[in-house]
Structure 1
Amino acid sequence: MKLLHTELLIARHFKNSVFKNQAIYIITFFIGALLLFAAFSGWDNYKSQNETSEKYQHESREDWLKNPDKNPHRMAHYGNFAFRKSTSLSVFEFGMEPFFGNAIFLEAHKQNTANFSEAGFSNSMLRFGEISIAMVLQVLLPLLIFFVGFNSVAYERENGTLKILLSQGISWKQLLFGKVLGIASVVMLLFIPTIIVLVLIWLTLQNFSISADETIKMLLFIGFHFIYLMFFCVAAVLISASSKTSKKALVSLIGIWLIFTIILPRTTQAIGAYLYEAPSKIQFNSDIEKDILKQGDSHNPNDVHYKAIKDSLLRAYKVDSVQKLPFNYSGFIMTEGEKISSNIYNKHLEELLKIYARQNSFSKAVSFFNPYIAMKNLSMGLSNTDYDSYIDFQKQAEKYRYGMAQKMNALQVKYISNKKPGPNDKPLTIGREHWADLEEFHYEPKGVWEVLKTEIVSVISILLWVILLFVLIRIAAKNLKAI
């Protein structure tokens, strides 16, 4: 208790000395204003995007159901839309969401990519860079910590009070931990109100009805950001204690901040893309088309591949024409064609995703050298605004698209006659009531355990960094000198 009392006294004294500097009030007010602005813009963005998604998802569903009696294959080509709603934590961490599309047009025989991203309609704010609560916590608060803590020990050494403190029986360990607590107490004046506002917004957005999964995500979001900020508090004290002057400590800390938050993130992305080069979108689509053409064209009655299927069906049912088959031949061929084209697309997509996974694995590996990258990846994962969440949306939409196309093909096989209508006959159709057989698309975000499994490297990296720094404090406590 006596040891803890000493550390708290050091922390309180340091906190009081920090607020004697008028500049700290200006900086704190500025960051506080940014946090409020980030909360407001995140709230507005979330409400706007989800209201738009719900509106057009509902309109798309209504348009689908309002279609008149029609050939099912025409309905498959008429298509549908899949919209992705934002999760509540995306209010605080925008991640990659502004740059990825949130809507996909779904149609037979073709896999489309997501469109209608905010970057596609980019305004000046997006080009400048959107300000989110996560960005302030991960980038600006560490800078504030360094500004507050650069002279925490170095100043004591410069004015000679360090020798006096140590001569009075205070150990290096007590001094270092006391300074860390002092810096943390200053930062908590911003962090705690931010968390309170964050939780209130989060609860309001969900009408105070929260799931266990979302609750765990929120607690992890808060907990890991707290750990992340404590890492910078410890780093500030260690650099200050090992520097002979406050000026050297400040230069060193600013250099660390620039490397962690600006230089390394952009460098690792560029190196990853260079080492594992991905094909262009044109090349990707061209390769798919080539492979599909090798398998045949399901819309061409004279195609070799599908002619072989026709001949085998005629032999199996012992008839001499497709008109005599007990099911709709065209629907059967479209079912086969959809299966082949989807398998080819998924095969190429998996290969592309492997390349992107290698690029991302390089960035994740660098997180062992940079806690900012680890925190950013984990934050985006928990808010479902990361690359993996975007791919998950694409896969859910593709699964729905394939089910839609095959359901329409199955209706054609079952209800449409093989007899071709004459020039004066009505086209072959089925009743519009069948359109309701297809359920509406609903995007399901990844669960917390799936996120943690994906971001396990980031979790381990953050924890290892904090453990390392506290080990360094113990080592420093034994080796640091007062002069």
Structure 2
Amino acid sequence: MSKTILIIARDEWRYWQRSRLSLAVLIIALSLVAASVWVTKVSNTDNAHQRAHMQSQAEHSFKDQPDRHPHRMVHYGHYVFRSLPPLGALDPGIDALTGNAIFLEGHRQNSATLADKKQSSGLTWISSLTPAFVMQIIAPLLLIILGFSMVTREREAGTLDFLKVQGVSLLALLAGKGLALVTAAVLISTPLIIGVMISVINGAGLLSATAFIASYWLYLIIWSAIVLLISTLVRTNASSFSGLIAIWILTCLIIPRVASNTAGVIVHAPGKLETDLAILRQLREIGDGHNMSSRANSAMRDSLLAKYNVKSVDALPVNFKGIVAQQSEADLTKVLNKFARQQMHQQTGQAEIFRYFGWLSPMIAIQNASMKLAATDLENYHEFLQQAETARYDFVQSLNRLHAENMTLEQDSNKYRNDVAKKAATVSADNWQILSDFSFSPLSEKQRITNSLFAISQLLLMLGALLATLSFAGKRL
């Protein structure tokens, strides 16, 4: 039985070698994957160097500032950049859409900027010839061209009945032709494997890299099964090809768009203006950190006077304005973080609805598995926002502590009186070394693999259903 399967697979490869179209398809597939791996790798390496350079430049620019009032440095701000993880060279995921830099400053949380695609319509992602795009969209189309006539060719030529007379099991025939198509799919993925090996050398986890390759193999095997099944069920080459193209258009183009629109309708996300107005309403309730006489700040003043057993803020061992700045930033950050968590929850809800459409489209399933394993998905973007916010809060509060501890209230209050007073209301530039080196750390390898299990299970169950259907069709052929 196994020998018969190998003979059939070898005969199919001979047919492809004789067919100029089939040979051209294999060459085009290999060239596209290899080119996409190379171009994306070079592009991402250049982007990584640029981001590292800009991160270093932003840190040096902050540290090189002259003696200043600490609160001026709070508003001077600082930039942090998100670097792509190693496997991001193969699947950049949502990196081009979300932005990769955030300006950190006091009193506000800014959005990520410097996105490659400022605006996106439904199909702008097609313009990115990344390895992930080629494997998810182009490779199935090439497998269709390669294998649409695998069984219908035998039927139209009359050789199917001849094989039956020779005692060849129809299941063995399907297994042999399926083996040939799967080996072609694995051959197409060779440049991707080389890219993954390079990513491992550059620091990618071996387990996530292995799962990354395995998930793409699983996806290509699913498409091989789809091609073989349709070629088995229909009677002519034309019907097989048109049917497979219709399936490709439906699963790779239409269903993902329907899934995206459905997620946006089911989980409503308020617009930026609506969110900003809601934030302003809550910020008014907590008071203004620049107004020393507000109700909240008066209560804080009374508490500090009692704590240090003094009668006026001038007698406090710390600068009252700096203390107010610290407390105000802490209260404001709680409000901003609450709205940020709400927005992340809404985005995650939309993403979850989109992922459930992976039961209808293997392309959605592999897209989710690929981005999660490469650490370029929505969860890792949220992780970047949270790490950036932690860096923002730490550096702003460090400056506020300098404000409270390194100058007196009298110096602070008289800073606009004259040049001498203005100079006195500054701290040494040596204090600007408070910045810690920022480097984005994606979710752990274990967490990424756990997050990808749902999408991988979709692919496995889909493959199981296809193989069961193919076995049934082979028995009924």
Whole-angstrom distance in 2 between the partners of 1:224 and 1:163:
37
The equivalent of 1:86 in structure 2 is 84
Instruction: Show the 5 A alignment for 1:342-353.
Output: 342-353=333-344
Greater mean deviation of Cα atoms: 335-344 or 68-77 = 68-77
Give the letter for the 1:333 counterpart: V
Q: CA deviation at 1:410?
A: 1.9
Q: CA deviation at 1:219?
A: 1.5
Whole-angstrom distance in 2 between the partners of 1:345 and 1:456:
33
Whole-angstrom distance in 2 between the partners of 1:191 and 1:61:
41
* Pick aligned residue for 2:105 from 99, 102, 107: 107
Whole-angstrom distance in 2 between the partners of 1:157 and 1:235:
18
Instruction: Show the 5 A alignment for 1:14-25.
Output: 14-25=12-23
The equivalent of 1:450 in structure 2 is 447
Greater mean deviation of Cα atoms: 107-116 or 274-283 = 274-283
SS at 1:116 equivalent: coil
Give the letter for the 2:8 counterpart: I
* Pick aligned residue for 2:372 from 377, 381, 396: 381
The equivalent of 2:7 in structure 1 is 9
For these two proteins, the number of residue pairs brought into alignment is 469
In the alignment, is the contact (CA less than 8 A) between 2:87 and 2:196 conserved in 1?
no
TM-score, normalised relative to structure 2? 0.93
Question: Does structure 1 residue 427 correspond to structure 2 residue 424?
Answer: yes
In the alignment, is the contact (CA less than 8 A) between 1:157 and 1:244 conserved in 2?
yes
Q: Could you give the per-residue CA deviations for residues 298-323 of structure 1, whole angstroms, max 9, x where no partner exists?
A: 11122222222223322343333211
Q: CA deviation at 1:247?
A: 1.9
The equivalent of 2:283 in structure 1 is 292
Greater mean deviation of Cα atoms: 363-372 or 464-473 = 464-473
Instruction: Show the 5 A alignment for 1:312-331.
Output: 312-331=303-322
Give the letter for the 1:437 counterpart: I
Q: Could you give the per-residue CA deviations for residues 442-476 of structure 1, whole angstroms, max 9, x where no partner exists?
A: 11122222212323321211111122222223333
Give the letter for the 1:389 counterpart: N
Give the letter for the 1:224 counterpart: S
Q: Could you give the per-residue CA deviations for residues 269-313 of structure 1, whole angstroms, max 9, x where no partner exists?
A: 011111212111222222112211121111112222222222332
Q: CA deviation at 1:128?
A: 6.4
Q: Which runs of 5+ in 1 are unaligned?
A: none
* Pick aligned residue for 1:47 from 41, 45, 48: 45
The equivalent of 2:93 in structure 1 is 95
Q: Which runs of 5+ in 2 are unaligned?
A: none
The equivalent of 1:246 in structure 2 is 237
In the alignment, is the contact (CA less than 8 A) between 1:381 and 1:455 conserved in 2?
yes
The equivalent of 1:170 in structure 2 is 168
Whole-angstrom distance in 2 between the partners of 1:318 and 1:275:
58
Q: CA deviation at 1:367?
A: 0.6
In the alignment, is the contact (CA less than 8 A) between 1:42 and 1:90 conserved in 2?
no
Whole-angstrom distance in 2 between the partners of 1:119 and 1:161:
53
The equivalent of 1:369 in structure 2 is 360
* Pick aligned residue for 1:145 from 143, 146, 149: 143
Give the letter for the 2:285 counterpart: K
Q: Could you give the per-residue CA deviations for residues 108-162 of structure 1, whole angstroms, max 9, x where no partner exists?
A: 111101111112499xx97861101111111111111112221111222222221
Give the letter for the 1:105 counterpart: F
| 1:317/1:199 CA distance change after superposition, 3 Å | closer
In the alignment, is the contact (CA less than 8 A) between 1:324 and 1:418 conserved in 2?
no
Whole-angstrom distance in 2 between the partners of 1:356 and 1:169:
57
Question: Does structure 1 residue 198 correspond to structure 2 residue 189?
Answer: no
Give the letter for the 2:86 counterpart: S
Whole-angstrom distance in 2 between the partners of 1:303 and 1:227:
63
Give the letter for the 1:461 counterpart: Q
Whole-angstrom distance in 1 between the partners of 2:47 and 2:55:
12
Q: CA deviation at 1:184?
A: 1.8
% same residue: 28
SS at 1:19 equivalent: helix
In the alignment, is the contact (CA less than 8 A) between 2:355 and 2:364 conserved in 1?
yes
TM-score, normalised relative to structure 1? 0.92
Q: CA deviation at 1:226?
A: 0.9
Greater mean deviation of Cα atoms: 179-188 or 259-268 = 179-188
| 1:61/1:365 CA distance change after superposition, 3 Å | same
